[in-house]
Amino acid sequence: MRNTIRAHWFAWRVARATDLQERVYYVSKLSGLGESAFPVLQKLALENADPSTRSLTIFALKACSHPEAVWTLGSMMHDPDQAVRESAATALAFMVDKKHLPPLELLARTARSGDKDGDLGAAAAAAGLGRIEPKFSCLPLNFALAAKPGPLARAQAIESLGVLAMAHTGSIESLLGPFKPDDVLPGFPYPKNECGMFVNLVRSLNDLEEFAGPLAIEREIAEARQFLSASGKAVETGEAARGDVRQVRDVARKVLFELTGQQFSAAPPMYSGEEGLLAAQCRQWYLDRLRSRTTSRPATEGRHEQP
């Protein structure tokens, strides 16, 4: 009873605090109350008008032992604010059984149904999966990309695959594909065609569908630069600004360049045989670059025109 009263008092202070540091202080107090704080944390997370406050509650919900905290975080993957959605997905990716990840399940469901209204939540799920080990995330990201969710979710899955390949080079070689039907995870339809990271990236070079706004890493870089800028104005990075419209293939070209060192120009759609040949070549370029890093040899940069 005493902790319940404290929880309501701390939540009242959070809701009325005008200073971020003060909100952080009282949310941390809430996180120390355990299950007693869950009802007020849930209300703050789902109903508070301030996105920074909703983001703060994610850390407290993650620490909360209440069994419904997972589902509250799952609801937050549909939050109107991108940072809140992605933070909730990342928290879930780290806190629950990897076989039953709510971000994975949301991405699978959206990919399976083709629900365009779920594209924001599915994109947040793809961003969250990009923060955990490839052995848990590379396969579902590939399957989801092959199953064609909305364009924003596809673009985010591509960025997340690139992040995984760049950050976890020691463990990703065995996760590049091609994958087999035995590899399929619960809830995911097995793609009819070969499914592997470079197969998906090469196929995405033909994806002309458009999406708007920054992806997860782009948003974080822009916000970090804005924070560090003395004037408070974001430094120009060459990345798409919030609201800019791009095609999914633009992200695929960027990620392929980062992984292989090869630039891919725009070209007419490729036939399946050409896709397979180019995917195999990209895989080899990537593995060659990994080996060159381990032996401290400089990677060779080149330019490749699509067939």
The reply to whether 51 and 96 lie within a common domain is no
The reply to whether 30 and 159 lie within a common domain is no
The reply to whether 38 and 162 lie within a common domain is no
The reply to whether 40 and 85 lie within a common domain is no
Of the candidates 65, 149, 49, 64, the residue with the CA atom closest to the CA atom of residue 103: 149
The reply to whether 128 and 233 lie within a common domain is yes
The reply to whether 113 and 185 lie within a common domain is yes
pLDDT in tens, 117-151: 578 888 888 888 888 878 777 877 887 787 777 88
Whole-number Cα distances in Å, 11 to 17, 235, 268: 10, 36, 57
Q: Residues 227, 228, 232, 238: is their CA dihedral positive or negative?
A: negative
The reply to whether 19 and 130 lie within a common domain is no
Cβ-based neighbours of 63, under 8 Å, separated by 6 or more: 31
What does the pLDDT read at residue 196?
80
The reply to whether 6 and 139 lie within a common domain is no
The reply to whether 148 and 292 lie within a common domain is yes
pLDDT in tens, 164-213: 888 876 667 666 766 666 665 555 655 555 568 888 898 899 899 999 88
Of 17, 45, 72, which residue is a domain's last?
72
The reply to whether 111 and 68 lie within a common domain is no
Of 56, 72, 88, which residue is a domain's last?
72
Residues of the chain with pLDDT under 70: 96-117, 169-171, 173-175, 177-195, 227-243, 266-273, 294-307
Distance CA 160, CA 163 (A): 5
What does the pLDDT read at residue 237?
40
The reply to whether 97 and 63 lie within a common domain is no
Of the candidates 72, 165, 73, 151, the residue with the CA atom closest to the CA atom of residue 111: 151
DSSP H helices, 187-271, are 197-204, 216-228, 248-260
The reply to whether 53 and 169 lie within a common domain is no
The pTM of the full predicted model, rounded to 2 decimals, is 0.75
Tokens of 54: 């909703």
Range of the domain at 29: 1-72
Tokens 């920074």, located at residue: 52
Q: Give the count of domains, the chain.
A: 2
